[in-house]
Amino acid sequence: MKSVIIGAGVAGITAAKTIKEIDRDAEVVVIGDEMFLPYKRYLLTELLCGLLTQDDLIFLSLELLHKLDIKLRMGESVKSIEPSKKLITLHHNEIIPYDKLLIATGCIPSLGLILRPYKSYIQHYYSLNDILVLKNRLPEIKKCIVFGKGVSCLDLISGLYNLEKQITYITKGKRAHFGLKESEFKDKLHDFLEEKGIDIVTEDRIVSIDTSKHGYRVDTLRQKKLTADIIFGWDHYTPNISCIENTSIKKRLGILVNARLETSEKDIYAAGDCMEIYNPCLKKYWINFGFPNALEQGRVAGENMLGREEEYKIYETITFNLMGKSLKARWWK
């Protein structure tokens, strides 16, 4: 049986390992569009801050890939899927057949209509490549503007703080809150960050960016004029699912799956940040973001691709550490 996995992130690689650990003879091919060995994305900020090395981030070494006999095709991207013929097509038009397919393509930070024209001025903060490029630029960076929401934004702010950068955080909200669950500290977070020296601009957003001799000039909706050496920004995270366009695989924002992580198409599964699963507490489909969730979903998908009938249990609240404070978020660690 041939299992093909799209995406060499935590979910995809965990599924590949699970399959090979159960069935040594199964053929497993993982196709990943990044040029690196599978790595732990959730530790990128630690790498940026110099707390970890690139080697510390490796999620599956070359030796283990060989030992498990997982075929990893790095730097290759899947263009399309034909569920009725059980085929996928890569960007260079190579066609690969599968018996079971897992889509584990993660999410990408995306810009809304207002910021999209300024895309080239905004630093991406998502991949190992982004961080390696950014690390080279660090010595010339003093003033940073961060615009966005969610815990990843808080993670970035915390990293820049560790690097002793001057930070201005712009939020559309009345207070900086990052969607945390911790009720007691959640309300104090804004003041906590200000005490740490972070300048917080509330109820505002970036409306235009221009370059200047000394970096960037930023205009906000409330007519603030700010300057920075670098700008980080994203409006939301979007599942990276362009490869299912023109297929009958059901989706909303992400690919819809049932508790066994099966999509609407036979023998196609989805796991990790690219999929949406029904949350009985929220009574709606949602993306169960985060590293520990992707890991568990990868395991469940791998088992089910071998014919088992495991159900994924939703983990809602995860604890993580912010500048020495223990916080709870819907995702994170």
Ligand X SMILES: Cc1cc2nc3c(=O)[nH]c(=O)nc-3n(C[C@H](O)[C@H](O)[C@H](O)COP(=O)(O)OP(=O)(O)OC[C@H]3O[C@@H](n4cnc5c(N)ncnc54)[C@H](O)[C@@H]3O)c2cc1C
Residues lying near ligand X in the complex (CB under 6 A) are found at 6-12, 31-34, 41-42, 44-45, 77-78, 104-106, 125-126, 152, 155, 240, 243, 272-273, 289-292, 294, 320, 331-333
Shortest distance in whole angstroms from residue 285 CB to ligand X: 16
Which residue number, 148 or 290, has a Cβ lying nearer to ligand X?
A: 290
Which residue number, 32 or 302, has a Cβ lying nearer to ligand X?
A: 32
Which residue number, 34 or 182, has a Cβ lying nearer to ligand X?
A: 34
Candidates 147, 158, 163; CA nearest to 321 is: 158
Burial of 223 (0-12, 13-18, 19+ CB in 10 A): exposed
Which residue number, 118 or 320, has a Cβ lying nearer to ligand X?
A: 320
Shortest distance in whole angstroms from residue 178 CB to ligand X: 12
Residue type, 324: G
Which residue number, 10 or 226, has a Cβ lying nearer to ligand X?
A: 10
Which residue number, 171 or 240, has a Cβ lying nearer to ligand X?
A: 240
Shortest distance in whole angstroms from residue 136 CB to ligand X: 17
**Containing H/E element for 82?**
strand 78-82
Secondary structure, 3-state, 134-193: HHHHHHHCCEEEEECCCHHHHHHHHHHHHCCCEEEEECCCCCCCCCECCHHHHCCHHHHH
Residue type, 27: E
Shortest distance in whole angstroms from residue 180 CB to ligand X: 13
Shortest distance in whole angstroms from residue 223 CB to ligand X: 31
Contact 48, 134 (CB under 8 A): yes
Q: Which residues contact 113 (CB under 8 A, 6 or more apart)?
A: none
Rounded to 5 degrees, what are φ and ψ at 3? Answer: -105, 125
Shortest distance in whole angstroms from residue 122 CB to ligand X: 15
Shortest distance in whole angstroms from residue 36 CB to ligand X: 9
Contact 252, 285 (CB under 8 A): yes
Tally of CA atoms within 13 A in the half-sphere of 108 that contains its CB: 10
Count of residues making up the chain: 333
Q: Give the separation between CA 101 and CA 276, rounded to whole angstroms.
A: 17
Which residue number, 11 or 198, has a Cβ lying nearer to ligand X?
A: 11
Which residue number, 116 or 333, has a Cβ lying nearer to ligand X?
A: 333
Shortest distance in whole angstroms from residue 128 CB to ligand X: 9
Residue type, 136: N
In this structure, the dihedral spanned by the alpha carbons of residues 16, 18, 21 and 24, taken in order and rounded to 10 degrees, is -50
DSSP secondary structure of 101-144: EEE---EEEE--TTTGGGGGGEEP-SSHHHHHHHHHHGGG--EE
